[in-house]
Amino acid sequence: MLILGIESSCDETAAAVTRDGREVLSNVINTQIAIHKKFGGVVPEVASRRHIEVIDGVIDEALGEANVTFDDIDAIAVTYGPGLVGALLVGVSTAKALAYALNKPLIPVHHIKGHITANYVAHKDLEPPFVCLVASGGHSHIVYAEDYTHYEIMGRTRDDAAGEAFDKIARVLGLGYPGGPLIDKLAREGDPKAVAFPRVRMDGASLDFSFSGVKTAVLNYLHRLDQNGETYNKADIAASFQDAVTDVLCEHTIEAAMIKNSKTIAIAGGVAANSALRKKMTEEAGKKGIRVLYPEPVLCTDNAVMIACAGYYEYLNGTRADLTLNAVPSLRL
């Protein structure tokens, strides 16, 4: 079964074709990073306009790369939330127009479910159930994947998403946008134990996250040094901040796996591209006999392969949308 996936929830316009969910025939990503860089973050209206300009070309390229035509496609899967409403609407409207014109099924896909599903593409033997950490610029969840389309939420952020914290700290360190990859790179030259930033644990046994505390702690720390006219080593700050965030992500996720007696942890979303997180999770979970899986970085950040793959499993599950499908910016998992 060939599925055309379409993704436009934030600042990447993407289209991909997969066969039977897991086999990637094409993966085209048009990123707007260069456009938003000068503003230090994604400007929603600018993002929507850019999606409109490039989406037709991105889809044509995805079909061409897969060596297929619209006639060969069996269904069209599209991200309908969560995300920026104007950005989502471009993908949703395009998918609806295609489904109508070609008379093919339309499958609505949840963006976070897509991120989790990237692990099925990366690891052909992976089957549910397993525990998954999904950490991106907009979300941080620990879920238990019960089957291919149903997820139990075991923990979520109470405030900022992990990626949001990376982006904010990178900005105050003057590193640029998006911050995650830049902190990841700089931290390799720093000492993760240079500054002990807080590791926040929410009340009781909750697996929820809170990243606003560590963010504020770094900001206050830098402020104090600035006021005293003291210099600091940016690499040490980046490494210490990253160490605090990844400690919490690993601790909670491994605890979730222990609760579910799961021998597999998958990680997903943009932050799953973080080299320190991958290493730490693999080492710490390994001590408990738990294997850790993650997709290659290009399938961690936003892409349409994950949407086509999630669309395949939704299709098998009977999920369909009609032409009343709308974008849902704060769609819940």
CB of 216 to ligand KG4, least distance (A): 18
- Residue owning tokens 């996936």: 5
Sheet strand arrangement including 12-19:
23-31, 12-19, 2-7, 75-81, 106-110
Contacting residues for 307 by C-beta, under 8 A, at least 6 apart: 5, 6, 7, 14, 16, 77, 78, 79, 109, 111, 114
Question: In a 3-state reduction of DSSP, which class is residue 211?
Answer: coil
Residue 32 near Zn ion by CB under 5 A: no
Q: Quick one: which of 8, 94, 253, 274 contacts ligand KG4 (CB under 6 A)?
A: 274
Residue closer to ligand KG4 (CB basis): 75 or 300: 300
Residue 301 near ligand KG4 by CB under 6 A: yes
The rounded distance, in Å, linking the Cα atoms of 155 and 134 is 10
Residue 181 near ligand KG4 by CB under 6 A: yes
Span from 41-49, 68-76, 159-167, 255-263 in contact with ligand KG4 (CB under 6 A): 159-167
Q: Quick one: which of 108, 114, 128, 180 contacts ligand KG4 (CB under 6 A)?
A: 180
Cα angle 57, 61, 67 (rounded to 5 degrees) comes to: 145
Span from 87-95, 136-144, 149-157, 321-329 in contact with ligand KG4 (CB under 6 A): 136-144
The rounded distance, in Å, linking the Cα atoms of 248 and 131 is 16
CB of 279 to ligand KG4, least distance (A): 12
Beta carbons of 54 and 30 less than 8 angstroms apart: yes
Beta carbons of 28 and 61 less than 8 angstroms apart: yes
The rounded distance, in Å, linking the Cα atoms of 4 and 45 is 26
Residue 81 near ligand KG4 by CB under 6 A: no
The rounded distance, in Å, linking the Cα atoms of 312 and 105 is 11
CB of 48 to ligand KG4, least distance (A): 16
* Adjacent-strand bridge partners of 17: 4, 26
Residue closer to Zn ion (CB basis): 73 or 112: 112
Q: Quick one: which of 163, 190, 295, 311 contacts ligand KG4 (CB under 6 A)?
A: 163
Tell which positions 288-327 bind Zn ion, by CB under 5 A: 302
The rounded distance, in Å, linking the Cα atoms of 256 and 206 is 10
The rounded distance, in Å, linking the Cα atoms of 183 and 169 is 8
Q: Quick one: which of 8, 13, 18, 136 contacts ligand KG4 (CB under 6 A)?
A: 136
Residue 117 near Zn ion by CB under 5 A: no
Q: Quick one: which of 98, 122, 273, 331 contacts ligand KG4 (CB under 6 A)?
A: 273
Please give the residue ranges that form the binding site for Zn ion (CB under 5 A): 136, 302
Please give the residue ranges that form the binding site for ligand KG4 (CB under 6 A): 10, 136-138, 163, 166-167, 178-181, 184, 269-271, 273-274, 301-302
